[in-house]
Chain A
């Protein structure tokens, strides 16, 4: 019996190890709340994946918010207030995100949080922030349910949390926007749809599929992949034999890159199309040379092309951050700046001081925030969604993402 019980213990330990790696959290910048020069310090929290597969995007978010805070301090945007950024790592895990939310709520100096990157992580954080009336502005969450409730698709829109805002547009328009481009502009009529079953990926794939069918396109196959594996050969073989002329993938670049590569290796020379989750330089690295021609939609117009963004790009470079600002840099800067604007309003309304119920006041002020940001006009509608609904299609050409078409989706 000894041997078999050993295997049982081992199996239990293996399960334990799985959970352990899932909830370990590594914090960078413990960060306290020291005041300097008699100023009041306001902390802007950041929650994003700073390590792991999605860290490229996460670090871009952190740096961009940091830049917003530094700019506000330098320009003395809010008299008497010094902004400080405290960034926590959620490793793209909802459980870590919730822990971080609790931590940020406990720090009384935190008056607003930028993040997270993943819609699934946002789901676990919303209530924690809302209970504390702490405002959260996400630069990247695109799942419609976060602002419009789970029944958003049935026409019953209801905002679940008053403290949640986002500067990114939603998949309710990103998926259909991609479908219109693929069907009308790229002239692809049969699609193979793959997703990773996560909140973001599955939602995006669903809105894409619906619009693609409505336009008259054919869905010749669907698959759900396990984001923990790298072997997609069985799926790639199915894509090839389905005869599809395009693949739509709802998910993120760590899987999308290898998936694109393996589909092409299987002999299906068709483009892979995805959402903002694959719009990263790392996708191109992972997809390799065969990824040329793959497409991604992303929120907003290309940051480099907007006149309002020139200054952001140059000051980001001047600040000397090690990592690129990536897909959400502009949105993160605007999210951070929205918090700064809200704090400014609250302080001005209270004779230059922070009121006692600063958090609730900042959340209230956020609803009315309106300014010209990096990504265009920043303001929020009655659900907390960005009023700016611009999207862009990018294509992999010569090893980088090249904007192909910008537009506003109209249902």
Chain B
């Protein structure tokens, strides 16, 4: 059997999830030059938000076709609340502080959020099972697509389209672009930059929440640490695509997902590389790719060379 089409789909799915989370890293960085390391945990709280809606809000046995939109709302609500709260109480007080300070705060916040879920969410000390969409997998030629993955396949492009529309066509979106270019001048032009920053955090969180729900549906389980590795991967995807560029985040995610999958499936077949193949080496190859891109195109795949502001 030719497994290449299936592996491409596997990589695309994994990459779409990285991309959804990477958008949050890239938007916040584009506007306040802060790498929000707690973003992986915002993704995680989004997934727990969706689970909470299913378990504790909806009546038992609600069909997924009704539950899913409500879970999405729950996921976005929780993730956005956490992100806006983090912005207000952890990052805004440090906005004029040296850049290292909010970065360290972000890492602290990341651990705090993990431990909060670990300690207070019922039975969250090990993985919790996530509700699944009923129905068998779809076969398209030699490619199998799981019902849970269908959500990701639909949600990722729609999310991108919504984001592009928002940033390009709405007033707030254009305000974001202006603030990203030059916050001081934007302020002078009457843009409420504080509000713009909150919007950037909220939007990033909403996409992370979509990713969190997709993760639960895809793997059937979520746990308090799920955001840590995935957050690092999404950050990598954002840098790979060109941090600050929202399309770059999605493309970086897909490239990273494909690279990992291809490395798992095929590196071991390359003569002389049998020791360096397999899934345990996938991360190594993903980071080799990142280093190569940064060496030859330091601004990332879609990033522009911008004049340094400082």
Contact = CB atoms under 8 A, between A and B. Distances in A.
A230 B226 contact: yes
Given A7-B239, A232-B279, A237 B127 contact: no
Interface in A45-75: 51-53, 55-56
A33 B265 CA distance: 55
B228 interface: yes
A234 B7 contact: yes
16 contacts: A1-B308, A17-B37, A53-B127, A55-B126, A196-B280, A223-B264, A223-B279, A224-B278, A225-B278, A228-B229, A231-B219, A240-B3, A241-B1, A241-B3, A267-B144, A288-B132
A65 B226 CA distance: 32
Given A53-B127, A226-B282, A234 B104 contact: no
B219 A230 contact: yes
A14 B40 CA distance: 12
A285 interface: yes
A223 B280 CA distance: 8
B85 interface: no
Contacts of A233: 10, 13-14, 261
Nearest to B282: A226
Nearest to A6: B99
B146 interface: yes
B137 A4 contact: no
B279 A285 contact: no
B126 to A, nearest CB: 6
Interface in A234-258: 234-235, 237-238, 240-241, 254, 257-258
Contacts of A53: 126-127, 223
A9 interface: yes
Interface in B232-248: 232, 235, 239, 243
A258 B219 contact: yes
A319 interface: no
A9 B14 contact: no
Given A238-B265, A261-B220, A226 B110 contact: no
Contact of B100 (A9, A226, A229, A266): A9
B87 interface: no
Contacts of B81: none
Given A17-B37, A241-B1, A224 B279 contact: yes
Interface of B: 1-3, 6-7, 10-11, 13-14, 33, 35, 37, 99-100, 103-104, 107, 110-111, 118, 125-127, 129, 132, 137, 144, 146, 219-221, 223, 226, 228-229, 232, 235, 239, 243, 260-261, 264-265, 278-283, 298, 308-310
Contacts of B2: 241
A240 B1 contact: yes
A266 B148 CA distance: 13
A21 B112 CA distance: 12
Interface of B is mostly: helix
Rank and list the top 5 A-B pairs by shortest CB-CB distance, nearest first: A234-B264, A233-B10, A224-B280, A241-B3, A241-B1
Nearest to A222: B278
A234 B261 contact: yes
Contacts of B308: 1-3
A364 interface: no
Contacts of B283: 226, 229
A286 B110 contact: no
Contacts of A21: 111, 228
B149 to A, nearest CB: 9
Given A3-B308, A233-B10, 10 more contacts: A21-B228, A51-B118, A51-B125, A230-B221, A233-B14, A234-B11, A237-B6, A240-B1, A267-B144, A288-B220
Contacts of A189: none
Contacts of B282: 226, 229, 234
Q: Which of B11, B118, B282 has the most CB of A within 10 A?
A: B282
A1 to B, nearest CB: 7
A4 B300 CA distance: 11
A7 B239 CA distance: 9
A293 B220 CA distance: 19
Q: Which of A13, A230, A240, A257 has the most CB of B within 10 A?
A: A230
A265 B137 contact: yes
A184 interface: no
Contact of A286 (B7, B221, B264): B221
Nearest to B215: A230
B194 to A, nearest CB: 22
A289 to B, nearest CB: 9
B103 A2 contact: no
Nearest to B99: A6
A363 B202 CA distance: 61
A225 B220 contact: no
A282 interface: yes
Given A2-B308, A3-B308, A232-B279, A258 B261 contact: no
Contacts of A230: 219, 221, 226
B126 A52 contact: yes
Contacts of A55: 125-126
A197 interface: yes
A7 to B, nearest CB: 7
A10 interface: yes
Nearest to B221: A286
Contacts of A229: 229, 279, 282-283
Q: Which of B35, B103, B228 has the most CB of A within 10 A?
A: B35
A324 to B, nearest CB: 13
Contacts of B220: 258, 261, 286, 288
A137 to B, nearest CB: 26
Interface in A93-141: none
Given A13-B107, A285-B129, A286-B221, A225 B280 contact: yes
